[in-house]
Amino acid sequence: MESEDPKFSEEAIQLPIEQPPSLSERLLIPSLIAGVTGGGVGLLSKRMKAHPNIPATYATNSAIVAACYCGVRELVKITRKSQDDDLMNSAIGGLFSGALLGRLQGGPRGAFRYSIAFATVGTAFDYASLRSKPFLERVRVTGGGVGLLSKRMKAHPNIPATYATNSAIVAACYCGVRELVKITRKSQDDDLMNSAIGGLFSGALLGRLQGGPRGAFRYSIAFATVGTAFDYASLRSKPFLERVRNMDSITLPVWFPIQILDEEALAKKKAEEQKLFPRLNKEES
């Protein structure tokens, strides 16, 4: 006689079905991350003084590069009717998107170099993303990133905004009290006593609103410890960041679409464009 366990049947029915990532997750989010990363590189660039708008340029171009690559990759996936984890989509998407941007940037040679570079870097990045998925399922990031990676995202779609807002409120409260303590004590920015006192007071305030007297005590200790440790790490990393910013060896690779050209390189590029598009130049003249 065959018998079915009702508990087993209910559990089987209630198993969650893993939904594939949406197009926004595979196109919009990588473009935003690339834009933020490009802006950060621009802020650390030694050319920041000569070109004040370089962070915006880096951010825009990085987002365009990422959007072009991800868009072509998704188009290849739809055309081939393959899965998201098929790295052949990344390779083909990198070849086509690199050839397109490289043709606009450096002619036929640029198209060849960019296609190889985009295919290699894009495939490697997607492979690393696939390999890191199990780790990211166990690890949660801070602020809005916590909400985006939270397992409660399906039940509470607005949880990223809630996490981001609360994190911003906590940081603003801590930093505000710390600066008030610094002004009251007439001390310097590198005085960690400001961080400790500011953490105690801001933690006690938020903890009292959140969990009563016990919450005030726990939050004050936590805020003072974490805030002082973070400020100490920031002070220790300042010299390193200054050295990185002033290093002459940190330059973008030749194949990268974002380049700062001097007058000689700009004139050379214009001459190459005139050779490549003679008809267009005649019409403009």
3 state DSSP class of 57: helix
Other beta carbons less than 10 A from residue 73's beta carbon:
26
107-141 pLDDT, tens digit per residue, is 788 788 888 988 898 888 888 878 877 665 554 44
Buried b (16+ CB within 10 A) or exposed e, 127-157: eeeeeeeeeeeeeeeebbebbbebeeeeeee
Q: For position 12, what pLDDT does the model report?
A: 43
In terms of DSSP H, where are the helices of 45-158? 54-80, 87-138, 143-149
- Co-location of 133 and 26 in the same domain: yes
The answer to whether residue 10 sits within a structural domain is no
CB 117: neighbour CB atoms within 10 A?
18
Residue 216 lies in a domain: yes
Q: Are residues 135 and 194 in the same domain?
A: no
Residue type, 79: T
Token couple for 284:
């403009």
Residue 53 in domain: yes
Average pLDDT over residues 26-38: 80
- Answer yes or no: do 122 and 211 share one domain: no
State whether 101 and 164 are in the same domain.
no
> Distance from first CA to last CA of the chain, Å, rounded?
91
User: Is the domain of 54 the same as that of 129?
Assistant: yes
132 and 189 co-located in one domain: no
Same domain flag for 228 and 169? yes
Same domain, 67 and 168: no
* pTM: predicted TM-score of the whole model, two decimal places: 0.48
Q: Which residues contact 195 (CB under 8 A, 6 or more apart)?
A: 178, 224, 227, 228, 230, 231, 232
Q: Is residue 15 part of a domain?
A: no
Mean pLDDT (the chain) is 75
Q: Are residues 124 and 41 in the same domain?
A: yes
What gap in Å lies between CA 175 and CA 179, rounded to an integer?
6
Instruction: Say yes or no: 104 and 215 in one domain.
Output: no
How is residue 1 written in tokens?
């006689």
pLDDT digit string, tens, across residues 1-23: 444 454 444 444 444 444 556 66
Q: Residues 45, 106: one domain?
A: yes
pLDDT score of 145 more than 70 = no
Q: Is residue 257 part of a domain?
A: no
Query: Which two three-digit tokens encode residue 124?
Result: 């490697």
Number of separate domains in the chain:
2
Q: Does 109 reside within a domain?
A: yes
| Shared-domain flag, residues 43 and 89 | yes
Q: What is the mean pLDDT of residues 238-254?
A: 65
Residue 134 structural domain:
21-141
Q: Is residue 262 part of a domain?
A: no
Q: Alpha carbon of 112 to those of 34, 87, 89, 115, 229: distances in Å? A: 23, 20, 18, 5, 48
Q: How far apart are CA 200 and CA 42, in angstroms?
A: 36
The answer to whether residue 135 is domain-embedded is: yes
